[in-house]
Structure 1
Amino acid sequence: MFGSEPFPQLRILASLRLGLRLNTQKRTRASLAEAASAFEASPNPYLLLTPDLRIVEMNQAYIDVTGARRDEILGHSLFTAFDSGPGEDAPENVRQVKASLEKARDTRQRDHLAVVRYAMPRVREDGSEVFEERIWSATHTPLMNAEGEVVLLLQHTMDVTDLSPAVRADEPTTALDALIGGSVLRRAQSVQEDNRRLETERNRLVEMFMQAPGFVAILTGPDHRFQMHNQAYGQLIGHRDIAGKPLREALPELAGQGYYEFLDAVFETGEAYEGRESQALLQRTPGGPLETLYLNFIYQPIRDEGGAVVGVFVQGHDVTENVKAARLQKLMIDELNHRVKNTLATVQSIAIQTARSHSDPASFASTFQSRILALSHTHDLLTLSHWEGADLQAILMHETEAFGPSRISLNGPVTGLMPATALSLGMIFHELATNAAKYGALSGPDGRVLIDWNLKDQPERILKLTWREIGGPKVTLPDRRGFGSRLIERNIRHDLAGEIDLVYASDGLIAELTVPLDRTHAQ
């Protein structure tokens, strides 16, 4: 099945230094033959398996202890050749052996089965076959190539059935047998069961560790090498390959941010360190820019049996969104307080000035209500944009819509206004429209208002707007300044840092406004 060369798999075995340290460049057929002879002559039962658990070779001691025939099992799956019989415990016996072999293969570490029950077929004198209960101790060793890949698994088995009086039913059992044999076997079984429980618990803890919603990492040694980290930690750092790397090499962008020093202090002093909403600049994507994150975390020292610090346990949560939300909420509350105060001050000013100009309660109520509604209209526009701003044309349409589109001409580019500018201009346009309705072009049936504006791009945007009334009654210069005029001039000069020129031409009022739109203090 495997060619004319005896034990061809031992060429691999020899190259993997199973008891022989042969120089790869000087291997000879003689030395391979010696390895094959040693393998075959060993009194210890040995079996060679592929990583998918197929039998590739065995020695004579293995054949003797199992009663197998080489030509019948070579190339077959181990558990097809040996299935532990029809007993109720057979599936569990197979599972234990398979689990041990797979663990050795996957971890690349030797694994031991101190005790495992595994029935073997035995041919009676009459030629019939029965399964005989046997107890084994097995060691499974992974054999690797120069690249560290597992190419074979070596199973070393020992039949320890004679240590168990309970199994030797056909032989007399002495008190010494029961005392020594039974105790040894029970101790071995107890240790193995304890190890299984510990391994199960360890696997559960590792699984919990890997699935934890917060980021977790285990750093070992004074240079804080990454021994283990979970998915959340990988997401935090852009899933970089950091396994086995020291922190300063794995996350170089943390230099100067204090985190290296925090970990050094925990390792040196053995005292935990906790960070709350701590800012960190991290690279979230390979080759990407640094991003600002806020973290809640704790660094806990890990100690050995003697109490010495050997590593640091890192656990925490990314609270960036929470921090941003809290800051935004505070900003919004501060802005709301500011706006409420400003609005109340505006309402108070409107009430006082309107009262001075209207001694009649009914006249006062009507004028006051109209001005509050004008303020409310602009608030509505700002609310629609979540108080990010409003469009100039929308404000003009709100304040003049009562007169119909045929009497109002709006001409100008799209002009976005910041909230404070929008509120002030809304009040100004309301006063101009009210004045036009009472005394100017909109007081008669044929009058019209032409509103033109443009933007000048200088170091800052400058709004130039002209309000021109035509077709109304003859205009004369007023003998006194009313509240409307004072409100317009106050809002333009004080609130908007702009200028206004009111021209009382005989054929209609002309108001020319100049307002800087990007002045920070005006917003």
Structure 2
Amino acid sequence: MHEIGSDIDLAAAFAASPNPYMLLTPDLRYAGMNQAYMQAVGVAKREDLIGKPIFDVFTAGDGAEAPESVRLLRASFEKVLDTGQPDHIALIRYAMPSGPDGAFEDRYWSATHTPVKNSSGELTYILQHTSDVTELELLRRQAGAAERPFVVSALDAIIGGDLLKRARIVQEDNRRLEIERSRLVEMFMQAPGFVAVLSGPNHQFQLFNEAYRRIAAYRDLKGKTVEEALPEVRDQGFIDMLDSVYQTGEPFQGRNVLVQIARPEGGAPIESYLDFIYQPIRDDSGSVVGIFVQGFDVSDAVLSAERQRLMIDELNHRVKNTLATVQSIAMQTARSHQDPQTFAESFQSRLVALSHTHDLLTRSHWEGADLRDILQHETVVHDEHRVVLNGPAVPLEPAAALSLGMIFHELATNAAKYGALAHEQGRVFIDWSVANQNDRTLTLVWREEGGPPVVVPDRRGFGTRLIERNIRHDLAGVVNLRYLTSGFTAEISFPLDRGRQFEPTA
């Protein structure tokens, strides 16, 4: 005698059963059916069904209810695929082809869909058991329309009495719940922040929205654990955080937390700053079974705050340096001018020169200033035909711009008092060039002609000391001041690529 569970007996029982059965693959294609099913749906040969998608073969016709019938049947199949559990349809109106002319006949069915799994627990088929209850349903409706409650009750008893009625109610409730679930899932997927649902102690992804995929660099997350999908986050402490929430049942909240996700193409990782919460998910007994992840990418806010902090630090640094410069100018000017009036005039002119350079830097948001613009600012009070500028555009760092602004002010002031600009025929020629593009060096020559006879000063004034100190200390350059009979000349040379770390100190 064969064992009841053998494949031969099962296949024979399947084929010989008077109840309609059919098998679908997970992609909803016919894999098998018995003779009773073929008779129920009006198909003569198995070849007409095997391998074909069920909804290509049976479309429910072109009636107004056809789309809803197809949706209801498809939803039942998908529920079995998603949950691995059986699903029931108490009553469904599903039209079937009734003849060669392509006409459809309304039929009423009751169906049960059961998952068939292999030894590994994987769903391999869906088994459908279908009952055609068309005649009973139509008869029941006719009796109801004729107001014959006794007949209706009798038919209810034949097809299950209140059981069918309750099944219909459950089916409608399930439909409403499914609609609500779909709406919740849609809201979940469209949430402005990132959200995900993780299950089990290994934190397996069950659900996640587009914002979460974006944070995760669009990795393949479905069905994977966090560590499988994002192995780099273990060393960043995120797995430990999840483990703690799962084990203790206490939520965890992070603020401005940096996460680094490796790029698929290599190179520097993608950095994001996150505000998030890990909230434990509990079952009916209160045990933690998963974790709900919700948060926002706050990278823009964090980086903006960091930029603001750097700007404030930079501003404080500049203010301190400016105050130090003003203090130095005041002390040095006071040593050179005993008379209060001449001190005030000289001190004010130097502050104005410092202010001019600050204005230029402010226009560029303190990114720097061009050498020609600084020269024009400091010589603008003189006839433009008497000051000749010749050289290429040279962008300067803020520190170099401030130092050169003070230097050119002193040179122009001395030229106006004692040099070429003190004489109507005098002129100043300023030429500059940049050498060695790999390690750029600026060379500038200030040359005066046509002024009064040059007198070599018997002492080094504040202007001379400021020029020499700024060039040597602040610009790491060299300067050569020459008092020639043909006119005063200043030769200045310094490197351009020293960076922003050098700030003027007068």
Quickly name the TM-score band, shorter chain normalised.
0.7 to 0.9
Q: Alpha-carbon deviation of 1:64?
A: 6.8
Whether 2:267 is the aligned partner of 1:292: answer: no
Name the CA distance, whole Å, in 1 between partners of 2:404 and 2:66.
Answer: 89
Corresponding residue number in structure 1 for 2:91: 116
Corresponding residue number in structure 2 for 1:12: none
Q: Alpha-carbon deviation of 1:326?
A: 0.6
Corresponding residue number in structure 2 for 1:280: 259
Whether 2:202 is the aligned partner of 1:223: answer: yes
Match of 2:448 among 466, 469, 480: 469
What SS does the corresponding residue of 2:410 show, helix, strand or coil?
A: helix
Contact 1:218 1:229 in 2 (8 A): yes
Corresponding residue number in structure 2 for 1:312: 291
Using the size of structure 2 for normalisation, the TM-score is: 0.76
Q: CA deviation digits over 1:308-343, x for unaligned, max 9?
A: 222222222222221111110111122223334444
Whether 2:342 is the aligned partner of 1:387: answer: no
Corresponding residue number in structure 2 for 1:126: none
Q: Alpha-carbon deviation of 1:285?
A: 3.9
RMSD: 4.8
What SS does the corresponding residue of 1:298 show, helix, strand or coil?
A: strand
Corresponding residue number in structure 1 for 2:16: 41
Question: Per the alignment, do residues 476 and 60 of structure 1 end up closer, same or farther by CA in structure 2, a change over 3 Å counting?
Answer: closer
Match of 2:72 among 57, 75, 96: 96
Using the size of structure 1 for normalisation, the TM-score is: 0.74
Match of 2:164 among 163, 185, 195: 185
Match of 1:434 among 413, 419, 444: 413
Contact 2:14 2:34 in 1 (8 A): yes
Q: CA deviation digits over 1:338-380, x for unaligned, max 9?
A: 334444554566567667748585x777656644443333223
Counterparts of residues 439-458 of structure 1 (less than 5 Å): 439-453=418-432
Q: What is the percentage of aligned positions where both structures have the same residue?
A: 54
Name the CA distance, whole Å, in 1 between partners of 2:69 and 2:231.
Answer: 51
Deviates more, 1:294-303 or 1:35-44: 35-44
Q: CA deviation digits over 1:42-90, x for unaligned, max 9?
A: 1212357899989998655457767x5759xx6798799795998x877
Deviates more, 1:261-270 or 1:211-220: 211-220
Name the CA distance, whole Å, in 2 between partners of 1:257 and 1:57.
Answer: 52
Contact 1:297 1:314 in 2 (8 A): yes
Q: Alpha-carbon deviation of 1:140?
A: 3.7
Q: Alpha-carbon deviation of 1:474?
A: 0.5
Question: Per the alignment, do residues 521 and 54 of structure 1 end up closer, same or farther by CA in structure 2, a change over 3 Å counting?
Answer: closer
What SS does the corresponding residue of 2:192 show, helix, strand or coil?
A: coil
Match of 1:323 among 298, 302, 327: 302
Whether 2:481 is the aligned partner of 1:505: answer: no
Whichever residue aligns with residue 316 of structure 1, its letter is: G
What SS does the corresponding residue of 2:110 show, helix, strand or coil?
A: strand
Name the CA distance, whole Å, in 2 between partners of 1:300 and 1:83.
Answer: 45
Name the CA distance, whole Å, in 1 between partners of 2:84 and 2:495.
Answer: 76
Whichever residue aligns with residue 377 of structure 2, its letter is: H
What SS does the corresponding residue of 1:216 show, helix, strand or coil?
A: strand
Name the CA distance, whole Å, in 2 between partners of 1:509 and 1:69.
Answer: 112
Name the CA distance, whole Å, in 2 between partners of 1:512 and 1:120.
Answer: 100
Q: Alpha-carbon deviation of 1:406?
A: 4.4
Q: CA deviation digits over 1:134-191, x for unaligned, max 9?
A: 5x42124678999x99998754222568699964727944979879954322321222
Name the CA distance, whole Å, in 1 between partners of 2:95 and 2:233.
Answer: 61
Q: Alpha-carbon deviation of 1:417?
A: 2.1
Whichever residue aligns with residue 90 of structure 2, its letter is: V
Q: Alpha-carbon deviation of 1:296?
A: 1.4
Contact 1:299 1:314 in 2 (8 A): yes
What SS does the corresponding residue of 1:277 show, helix, strand or coil?
A: strand
Whether 2:112 is the aligned partner of 1:139: answer: yes
Q: CA deviation digits over 1:449-494, x for unaligned, max 9?
A: 2334455769976544332222211011335555534543454456
Contact 1:500 1:512 in 2 (8 A): yes
Name the CA distance, whole Å, in 2 between partners of 1:82 and 1:398.
Answer: 83
Contact 1:55 1:78 in 2 (8 A): no
Deviates more, 1:453-462 or 1:221-230: 453-462
What SS does the corresponding residue of 1:156 show, helix, strand or coil?
A: strand
Q: Alpha-carbon deviation of 1:249?
A: 2.8
Deviates more, 1:272-281 or 1:151-160: 151-160
Name the CA distance, whole Å, in 1 between partners of 2:123 and 2:330.
Answer: 89
Contact 1:441 1:448 in 2 (8 A): yes
Question: Per the alignment, do residues 20 and 468 of structure 1 end up closer, same or farther by CA in structure 2, a change over 3 Å counting?
Answer: farther
Match of 2:396 among 384, 396, 417: 417
Name the CA distance, whole Å, in 2 between partners of 1:308 and 1:142.
Answer: 28
Whichever residue aligns with residue 111 of structure 2, its letter is: A
Name the CA distance, whole Å, in 1 between partners of 2:325 and 2:352.
Answer: 13
Contact 1:436 1:443 in 2 (8 A): yes
Name the CA distance, whole Å, in 1 between partners of 2:189 and 2:382.
Answer: 69
Question: Per the alignment, do residues 21 and 35 of structure 1 end up closer, same or farther by CA in structure 2, a change over 3 Å counting?
Answer: closer
Corresponding residue number in structure 2 for 1:9: none
Deviates more, 1:405-414 or 1:429-438: 405-414
What SS does the corresponding residue of 1:279 show, helix, strand or coil?
A: strand
Corresponding residue number in structure 2 for 1:27: none
What SS does the corresponding residue of 2:453 show, helix, strand or coil?
A: coil
Aligned residues: 485
Deviates more, 1:51-60 or 1:304-313: 51-60
Name the CA distance, whole Å, in 2 between partners of 1:458 and 1:171.
Answer: 103
Contact 1:85 1:131 in 2 (8 A): no
Counterparts of residues 36-115 of structure 1 (less than 5 Å): 38-46=13-21, 59=34, 61-62=36-37, 70=44, 92-93=68-69, 95-97=71-73, 99-101=75-77, 107=82, 112-115=87-90
What SS does the corresponding residue of 2:241 show, helix, strand or coil?
A: helix
Structure 1 unaligned blocks of 5 or more = 1-18, 23-30, 124-128
What SS does the corresponding residue of 1:476 show, helix, strand or coil?
A: coil
Structure 2 unaligned blocks of 5 or more = none
Question: Per the alignment, do residues 259 and 45 of structure 1 end up closer, same or farther by CA in structure 2, a change over 3 Å counting?
Answer: same
Contact 2:399 2:502 in 1 (8 A): no
Name the CA distance, whole Å, in 2 between partners of 1:320 and 1:119.
Answer: 53
Question: Per the alignment, do residues 468 and 385 of structure 1 end up closer, same or farther by CA in structure 2, a change over 3 Å counting?
Answer: same
Corresponding residue number in structure 2 for 1:25: none
Contact 1:399 1:429 in 2 (8 A): yes
Whether 2:245 is the aligned partner of 1:266: answer: yes
Whether 2:463 is the aligned partner of 1:484: answer: yes
Corresponding residue number in structure 2 for 1:244: 223
Contact 1:93 1:116 in 2 (8 A): no
Whichever residue aligns with residue 232 of structure 1, its letter is: A
What SS does the corresponding residue of 1:431 show, helix, strand or coil?
A: helix
Contact 2:59 2:66 in 1 (8 A): no
